[in-house]
Structure 1
Amino acid sequence: MESPTHRRVGVCTPGLPGVPHSREDQTHHRTGERVRSTTEHREIEIKFRIPADLIINIGDILASTHHIGEPLDHRSMDATYYDTASLSLIRWGVTLRRRSGGGDDGWHMKLPLRYSDAGAPAHGMDEIHVDGTASLIPSPLVSIASPLIRRQELVPVARVVTERSPYLVRDDQGEILVEVVDDWVALEGFDIDRPPATRFHEVEVELVADSKQAQRVARSIASALRDAGAQPSTVSKAASAVGRRAGDPPDVPIISPPATDRPAVDALQYIFARHVNSLLEADVAVRRGLPDSAHRLHVECRRLFSILQTFAPILDPDTVAFLCEELSWVSAELGEVRNAEFQSARLSAMTEDPAAREFIAQALDARVQATRSGALAALRSDRHGFLLEDLIIMVAEPPVTVDGFAPAKKTLRRCIGLSWRKLSSAVGAAHARGDDALWHKIRRRAERTAFAMDSVAPILGPEYSELAASLRAASDSLRDEQDSAISVEWLRDMSASAPGAIGFCLGALASEISRGDAAPRSAFTEEWPSMDRHARSLKLVRR
């Protein structure tokens, strides 16, 4: 639920480029308009621009690679692209269009693969297609775009008319491996910043089959095109239509790690940019309903929280307190989804009784749906939108104190050393069968320190990632212990409303889980001396 006393940090006005609008303004469909279905597919393609003085015949190109192209009917396609006045989507690498004439009339959104999977390859796009005749932008696409445009209005920015001649390349069994499209493209930008050319020739080689043979065929065709004088390109038709501003950086730019003798504020800007980008990508994935996306966004919120807490000694305290409060709120909403999904899979697998398994599945599936609805409501709230804007401002202007202008190496190491010493103090006070609250504190401090170490590793060196990995592995068992405690609590709640035999089975399972030993805590304690020696070698601990 949104706090009535929600406040903002910094000068963060709604006046980002573009016209602010209600999220509902663009999510309705007019009476009589038809929206049938939403589908997705992954598009892996190699794109080429053909110089104006070069004549290329696709049939000849395919023949030179010993493949026969099967020509399909010519298509005339007319697409209108939508974006904010500041071209937010295109600058993020995302395009949104309404197209007719291609056999897939309707709305299309293309997103780089990083919005689907963390660490995904840079090439390739996911395309979301909403089939229908709606003239207003469909609500699923507005929702997906929201983290990237926030409260800016989506308006027509360009028109692209394409005359397409497609060819299919099959294997000996008739399976389609690759599609090659020969496009003549005419552009019309709706802004004074017109592109220098309004017409160009483009060829795309797209994988259809997910096989090594298809990849080999695509590479051979691409090689033949390069040999013929075609020029590899990564520029979309939409970017070509809107002109040079399409090449401007996104709201959160990619920043290279600074040298260790640079001011700490430069290092924090790099760290903030890297992880705010990851948070936005995970946010988009949640709105698409992708597997494990809620957990991914939960982790990104926890990571940014940990980074802010660790480097709080050189940051404005009011800003840190506010942002950590907001990140904790979002993280808690998403943590409920993660717990429900995890416990549903775990508890269903732990019982061999079919009736008990079915009861657990029904009860926890309802809980999963309820927590997902709650998390999506939080992400669609103004409070969350304000948080995203504040995080973007934090990247642009890191809220450092005067200490943030000292050299990065010494300053970052000092902050992480303080976090390590707090963790060490808690570990020294703990016993394997000691206070549960203290072990929970150890787990949280270990997570916080590991996140911070990972964040500085590109600047201070890979040995910080190595220590973070050891710390994370040792603390994962403590997370398993907490998951077991949640399992016991939920099983006892379900057993209270379950029929007799099922209730008995659930209660017995809860008792079995609760008899867990102190092995996770003992394992952490045994690993601690090795990790502490590693920390001392990095000069995180005063000798």
Structure 2
Amino acid sequence: MTQSKRETERKYEPPSGGVAGLPDLTGVGPVASVTAAGPEELDAVYHDTEDLRLAGSSATLRRRTGGPDAGWHLKLPLAGDTREEVWAPLSDEVPESLRELALSRTRGAELRPVVRIRSTRTVRRLRDAEGGVLAELSLDEVRADAAASGGGRAEWGELEVELAEGVDAGLLDVVEKKLRKKGIVRADSPSKLARALRETGAGAGPERCPEVVAGSPGAYVLAYVREQAGRLVSLDPAVRGDLPDAVHRMRVTCRRLRACLRSYQSVLDRRVTDPVRAELRWLAGELGAARDQEVLGERIGAALTDLPDELVLGPVAARLRVWEVSHGGEARSRTREALATPRYLRLLDALDALVRRPPLRAGAGRKPARTMARAVLDEYGRLAGRMEIALAQPAGRSRETALHEARKAAKKLRYAAEVARPALGKPVARLGERAKAVQQLLGEHQDAVVAQHTLRELAVAAHGAGESAFTWGLLHGLERAGAEARQRELTEVWRAASDPALRAPLEH
């Protein structure tokens, strides 16, 4: 059994004088009163891999006794001051549920104790006018010991301000303003573990990436790859938890990485990146079944809802629900099975190695205006070729296929421009936005094409069961009309994207 919550907190250096040095926060924002609690004795053993893969990705795993939430805690970083905290009951070994959620970070490496942190905690609770808890101020006296024999010891004081769930994060700013007036400043370390590792010498951490010349194509491309690889790892727990839109975001991340590695072959050696691209394609394909199912079900369901009641004949909603459940369960199982394979962990290893030991080519050190602009223009050329083929096709299946290929080319151009934007600025950003418009229009067209095939299958199934197929045929006709409308719009959208003035700044 696990429980999950969002934790939003900030850490500060302790006030001189301990508890007596804390300012009175009564009347600060919505704070109507402050009550005392504690002291508490907390004892936590932090676990990580030998090369500190969890700490390297700003995640922590601990077994803690004492306090109201004794148990195992896995903390995963989110935006800003917020982290996702997953709790599991006390046990001697790392709970399998937490081990699985940490798998994208550990990549199967053994978890072991790295540091023990004991804290004597004094708590002040900030309450609103109704007595509800808004936040807690925790003043900790911390003692840290490296787990390995012969390791070091460190002691320090620390102040934490943690919001209660559901409280507006703006309260942290209001409280911090009051703390600063008393000379209380933010702590240098983002967590107790980070400070303990540093001051006890408990671990050297993962291998560092070699220095790349700032402002070079290599620096820009590696920054993008590092960001997307980190996003892939961070999305893993959300996909395993079947959270909304998680599969879609992970699939898009795979595509961004694949596109970057393809477009910037003059920066990173394709002998190394091509196998990574192939594995990213495999993962995106495994994720695609769940995502396509989700999008298609939502699309058909929304279209059905929009129909007048008199046009809905037979058990249409029930049949759609059965289709969603049967197909959706299969798709989600396929995703979970993919994330459980050694192949997936090898892909994460390969991405980590790519970032830490990048296979740089000569183009990595040239001027961005030359290398990166050329990569973007090459992708534009491929898109233009795909569009020429598609627009020359007669209406029908061949044109639909050609437009789908053009859509993929537009996506590659968009992502290549995304990588180059920090280096080349507004000119490449404008071209990327026009490519995005083409991609989105062609995406709507492709969704309509796929929906027609599914609606026909549902109509055939309904007819075979003795139900009316009228509504399914009506929805099919609406999707077909929509696809034809998108094709008519395409000429104007492509004219805007192919304007030579957009490419001129990149060609000189």
- Indicate the TM-score class for this superposition, using the shorter chain for normalisation: 0.7 to 0.9
Q: Deviations over 1:167-195 (max 9, x none)?
A: 22222222322222222222222146856
Deviation at 1:278, TM superposition (A): 2.3
1:57 maps to 20
Name the CA shift for 1:64/1:254 in 2 (closer, same or farther; >3 Å): farther
Shift of 1:502: 5.5
Residue 59 of structure 1 and its aligned partner are, at CA, apart by 6.8
Render the CA deviation track for 1:154-173: whole Å, top value 9, x for unaligned. Answer: 10111122222222222222
What pairs up with 1:475-494 in 2 under 5 angstroms? 475-494=439-458
Moved more, 449-458 or 522-531: 522-531
For 2:68, what is the secondary structure of its paired residue? coil
Match of 1:339 among 271, 285, 292: 292
SS of corresponding position for 1:538: helix
Question: Equivalents in 2 of 1:228, 1:64: separation in Å?
Answer: 16
1:140 is matched by which residue type in structure 2?
S
CA separation in 1, counterparts of 2:123 and 2:208?
37
Find out whether 1:462 has 2:462 as its counterpart.
no
After superposition, the Cα gap between the structure-2 partners of 1:73 and 1:271, relative to the gap in structure 1 and judged at 3 Å, is: closer
Which residue is equivalent to 1:150? 107
Q: Distance in 1 between matches of 2:503 and 2:265?
A: 22
Pick from 59, 82, 107: which aligns with 2:47?
A: 82
Gaps of 5+ in 2: 306-311
CA shift digits 1:405-448 (9 cap, x unpaired): 43332012112211111211222333285422211111010001
CA distance in 2, matches of 1:360, 1:97: 45
Q: Which amino acid aligns with 1:86?
A: D
The Cα offsets for residues 223-269 of structure 1, whole Å up to 9 and x where unpaired, read as 3333333331243122222225689786687999932xx3x333332
Separation (CA, whole Å) in 2 of partners of 1:286 and 1:300 = 13
Q: For 1:39-438, what aligned pairs fall within 5 Å after superposition?
A: 39-50=3-14, 54-57=17-20, 61-62=24-25, 67-113=32-78, 120=79, 122-130=80-88, 132-191=89-148, 194=151, 198-208=154-164, 210-212=166-168, 215-216=170-171, 218-233=172-187, 234-243=189-198, 258-259=214-215, 262=216, 264-313=217-266, 315-352=268-305, 353=312, 355-431=315-391, 434=395, 435-438=399-402
Write the deviation string for residues 104-155 of structure 1: whole angstroms up to 9, x where unpaired. 2221111110xxxxxx3x222111112x232221222112211111131110
**Alpha-carbon offset, residue 67 of structure 1:** 4.8
Q: Which amino acid aligns with 2:176?
A: A
Structure 2 length as normaliser, TM-score?
Answer: 0.88
Structure 1 530/254 Cα, relative in aligned 2: closer, same or farther at 3 Å?
farther
Q: Evaluate the alpha carbon distance shift between residue 246 and residue 428 of structure 1 in structure 2; reply closer, same or farther with a 3 A threshold.
A: farther
For 2:443 and 2:268, how far apart are their aligned partners in 1?
Answer: 30
For residues 262-314 of structure 1, give each alpha carbon's deviation from its aligned partner in whole angstroms, at most 9, with x where no partner exists: 3x333332332222222222234323432111100100111111112212355
* 1:80-113: CA deviation from partner (whole Å, max 9, x where unpaired): 1110111111121111011122112221111110
Partner SS, residue 293 of structure 2: helix
Q: Output the CA distance in 1 between the equivalents of 2:203 and 2:492.
A: 53
Paired position in structure 2 for 1:538: 505
Q: Secondary structure at the match of 2:186?
A: strand
Change (3 A) 1:480 1:311: same
In the alignment, the residues of structure 2 paired with residue 227 and residue 254 of structure 1 have an alpha-carbon distance, to the nearest angstrom, of 42
Gaps of 5+ in 1: 1-36, 114-119
Opposite residue 349 of structure 2, the aligned amino acid is E
SS at match of 2:358: coil
Alpha-carbon separation, structure 1, partners of 2:268 and 2:139:
54
**CA distance in structure 2 between the partners assigned to 1:404 and 1:160 by the alignment:** 44
Q: CA deviation at 1:207?
A: 1.5
Matched residue of 2:390: which SS? Answer: coil
**Quick check: 1:509 aligned with 2:463?**
no
CA contact (8 A) 2:3 2:87 kept: yes
Counterparts of 1:513 and 1:379 in 2: how far apart (Å)?
34
Deviates more, 1:311-320 or 1:486-495: 311-320
Paired residue secondary structure (1:351): helix
Using the alignment, how far apart are the partners of 2:41 and 2:336 within structure 1?
A: 39
Aligned to 1:473: 437
- 8 Å CA contact 2:41, 2:120 repeated in 1: yes
Residue 123 to residue 59, structure 1, CA distance change in 2 (3 Å): closer
The AA in structure 1 aligned to 2:214 is P
Contact 2:33 2:129 in 1 (8 A): no
Paired letter, 2:478: E
Label 1:125 to 1:96 Cα distance change in 2 as closer, same or farther (>3 A): same
Question: SS at the partner of 1:411?
Answer: helix
- Write the distance in 2 (CA, Å) between the matches of 1:193 and 1:148: 28
Distance 1:248 1:338, change over 3 A: farther
Distance 2:165 2:222 in 1: 42
Deviation at 1:210, TM superposition (A): 3.5
Residues 42 and 67 of structure 2 are in contact (CA less than 8 Å); yes or no, is this contact kept in structure 1? yes
CA distance 1:64–1:518, shift in 2 (3 Å): closer
Does the CA contact (< 8 Å) of 1:475 and 1:524 recur in 2?
A: no
Identical residues among aligned pairs (%): 27
> Residues 72, 243 of structure 1: CA spacing in aligned structure 2 closer, same or farther, 3 A cutoff?
same
Q: 2: distance between equivalents of 1:210 and 1:509?
A: 42
CA RMSD after TM alignment: 2.9
Larger displacement relative to structure 2 (240-249 or 359-368):
240-249
Report the Cα distance in structure 1 between the residues aligned to 2:495 and 2:211, rounded to whole angstroms: 36
DSSP-derived class of the 2:418 partner: helix
Once the two structures are overlaid, the 10-residue window that deviates more, 495-504 or 272-281, is 495-504
The separation in 2 between residues aligned to 1:249 and 1:457, in whole angstroms, is 32
Would you say the 8 A contact 1:40–1:129 is kept in 2? yes
Alignment: residue pair count: 490
The match for 2:491 is 525
Cα distance change of structure 1 residues 247 and 361 upon mapping to structure 2, 3 Å threshold: farther
> Distance in 2 between the 1:265 and 1:178 partners?
45
Counterpart of 1:11 in structure 2 is none
Q: Is the alpha carbon distance of 1:247 and 1:230 closer, same or farther for their aligned partners in structure 2, counting shifts above 3 Å?
A: farther
| Counterpart residue identity of residue 418, structure 2 | D
